[in-house]
């Protein structure tokens, strides 16, 4: 029974990522035309107004102020994900540069002080390479989720300085004979073992220190708290 349960968990993890990726780049909302009435250009949003920016359903980025909701666009194409850097000086966002090519996605960094835009990442296999939202780890690194196969989750780390990407992997047990633990091989080759399953992945900045944070749960869905890792740029250090 436990073997079947674990296989179901693995299948659900993979299926959820696949469905998310499908809607991320194949949603009909991508064909909505940008007009002044229903949209706002990302470069026209002031940093003080980012509190009104949210990621809505169907992977839309929305700007809602004074009860008026508009979809956020770039180059007349809708954004699918957005995040403000810890210093609030940069914005990273994913969008689909060509609505006729569903598997193409581009990550742009908008420097709000210099008023410059730079493409730092592009994929032509978006349903595999990009399955989650953008997260910042300092102002110099971004990470997002990707596929890696059955019973695992990939995490791509992108250096804005070099433009290079490296991948981390979360591996889950597939059989009842295996320990009920998650194995985490980070971006630098170090391995960690965590009790339970990873429910959510995010980042946070506290006192100018940047952390990768896993929300953990047991096999019945009960919270096991968080696992936090200090990100130094060249290593992850587990902290209590």
**Residue for token pair 């059989």:** 175
Average confidence (pLDDT) over 133-159: 96
Q: Positive or negative, the Cα torsion across 40, 45, 48, 51?
A: positive
Whether 196 contacts 224, CB under 8 Å = yes
- Classify 51 as helix, strand or coil: helix
- For residue 231, give every residue at least 6 positions away whose Cβ sits within 8 Å of its Cβ, in sequence order, or none: 137, 138, 141, 203, 210, 211, 212
Average pLDDT of the chain is 87
pTM of the model: 0.84
Residue 29: its pLDDT value, please? Answer: 41
- Report pLDDT digits (tens) over 27-85: 444 444 566 689 999 999 999 999 999 998 778 999 999 999 999 999 999 999 999 99
Cβ neighbors of 154 (< 8 A, separation 6 or more) are 145, 146, 147, 148, 167, 168, 169, 170
- Of the chain, the end-to-end C-alpha distance in Å amounts to 34
**Residue pLDDT, tens place only, 178-205:** 778 999 999 999 999 999 999 999 999 9
Return the H-helix or E-strand segment holding 12.
Answer: helix 2-26
Residues 76-132 have pLDDT tens digits of: 999 999 999 999 999 999 999 998 888 999 999 999 999 999 999 999 999 999 999
The phi, psi pair for 219, rounded to 5°, reads: -75, -5
Q: Give me Rg for the CA atoms of the chain.
A: 19
E strand segments, 126-233: 135-136, 141-146, 152-159, 165-171, 181-185, 191-195, 197-206, 209-217, 223-231
Give the distance from CA 155 to its chain's centroid.
Answer: 8
For the chain, give every domain's residue range: 2-239
Does the pLDDT of residue 18 top 90, yes or no?
A: no
């Amino acid at each position: 029974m436990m073997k079947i349960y674990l296989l179901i968990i693995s299948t659900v993890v993979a299926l959820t990522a696949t469905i998310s990726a499908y809607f991320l780049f194949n949603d009909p909302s991508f064909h909505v035309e940008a007009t002044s009435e229903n949209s706002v250009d990302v470069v026209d949003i002031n940093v003080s107004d980012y509190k009104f920016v949210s990621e809505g359903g169907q992977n839309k980025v929305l700007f809602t102020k004074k009860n008026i909701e508009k979809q956020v666009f770039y180059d007349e194409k809708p954004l699918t994900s957005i995040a403000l850097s810890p210093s609030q000086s940069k914005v990273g966002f994913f969008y689909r540069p060509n609505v006729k090519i569903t598997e193409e996605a581009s990550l742009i960094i908008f420097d709000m002080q210099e008023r410059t835009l730079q493409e730092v990442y592009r994929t032509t296999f978006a349903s595999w390479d990009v399955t989650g939202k953008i997260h910042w780890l300092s102002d110099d690194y971004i990470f997002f989720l990707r596929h890696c196969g059955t019973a695992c989750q990939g995490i791509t780390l992108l250096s804005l300085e070099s433009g290079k990407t490296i991948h981390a992997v979360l591996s889950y047990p597939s059989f009842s004979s295996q320990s009920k633990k998650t194995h985490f091989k980070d971006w630098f080759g170090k391995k960690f073992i965590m009790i339970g399953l990873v429910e959510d992945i995010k980042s946070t900045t506290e006192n100018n220190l940047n952390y990768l944070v896993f929300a953990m749960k047991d096999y019945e869905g009960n919270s096991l708290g968080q696992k936090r890792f200090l990100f130094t740029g060249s290593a992850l250090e587990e902290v209590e």
